[in-house]
Amino acid sequence: MSFNIAIDGPAGAGKSTIAKKIAAELSFIYVDTGAMYRAMGLLFLRKGIDSKDAAAIEAAAREADVTIGYENGEQQVYLNGENVTASLRTEEAGNMASATSIYPGVRRQLTALQKELAARQNVVMDGRDIGTAVLPDAQLKIYLTASSHVRAVRRYEELKAKGVDSDLSVIEADIIARDQRDMTREISPLCKAADAVEVDSSELTIDEVVETVRKLYQERTGASV
């Protein structure tokens, strides 16, 4: 039986960073759900479907097979058997993914594919609704959070390192607004699963958060890492 770790939480809490590190340590598959939505967006672009054409979007989504694999230790995303990893980080794919992820059919199809993947392999999956909607039976659920100010500072420092001028107060306001949208959206809103362990990373380093999750895994399995 596969072992699943679900990591949920608000934007900027460090979910992807922690999920990738834990997956690497445990030799689990890290499932990048965002990349899967981008692959779906790429499909719609290739088919020339307008993002506002709900019927066409949902019909195409039903025929899509998106999965995750690894080649030479690097995560690869496959769309209907084709490796599309190199095409996912374009602005067009990202915008289409964002515009079409609101459709129930898109979310339903990708949720089903994510469930299938988790049933076959040990996975670490992060997102907004993994522990509540995608993997409700995950053996370990983490709700990773941090204060809005800490998350804003992290984002500000990232932008600063890239040479991008930004306003910390504007970034924090955007994060607070995004939290509100994620928590109140109609389909699979962000919320802490009843059986999730909350980990506040506000005062923790990345390594300290990883150690916390590692200990929780060991408690669940009795395994040494």
User: Helix, strand or coil for residue 5?
Assistant: strand
**Is 94 annotated as a binding-site member?**
no
**Is 10 annotated as a binding-site member?**
yes
- At residue 48, the pLDDT reads 97
- At residue 225, the pLDDT reads 63
- At residue 158, the pLDDT reads 87
- At residue 7, the pLDDT reads 97
**Is 13 annotated as a binding-site member?**
yes
**Is 223 annotated as a binding-site member?**
no
- Tens of pLDDT, residue by residue over 129-149, are 899 999 999 999 999 999 999
**Is 69 annotated as a binding-site member?**
no
**Is 16 annotated as a binding-site member?**
yes
Q: Strands 140-145, 123-127: parallel, antiparallel or unpaired by DSSP?
A: unpaired
**Is 17 annotated as a binding-site member?**
yes
Q: Which residues of the chain have pLDDT under 70?
A: 225
Burial 117-135 (b: 16+ CB within 10 A, else e): bbeeebbbbbbbbbbbbbb
- At residue 142, the pLDDT reads 98
- At residue 95, the pLDDT reads 84
**Is 147 annotated as a binding-site member?**
no
**Is 59 annotated as a binding-site member?**
no
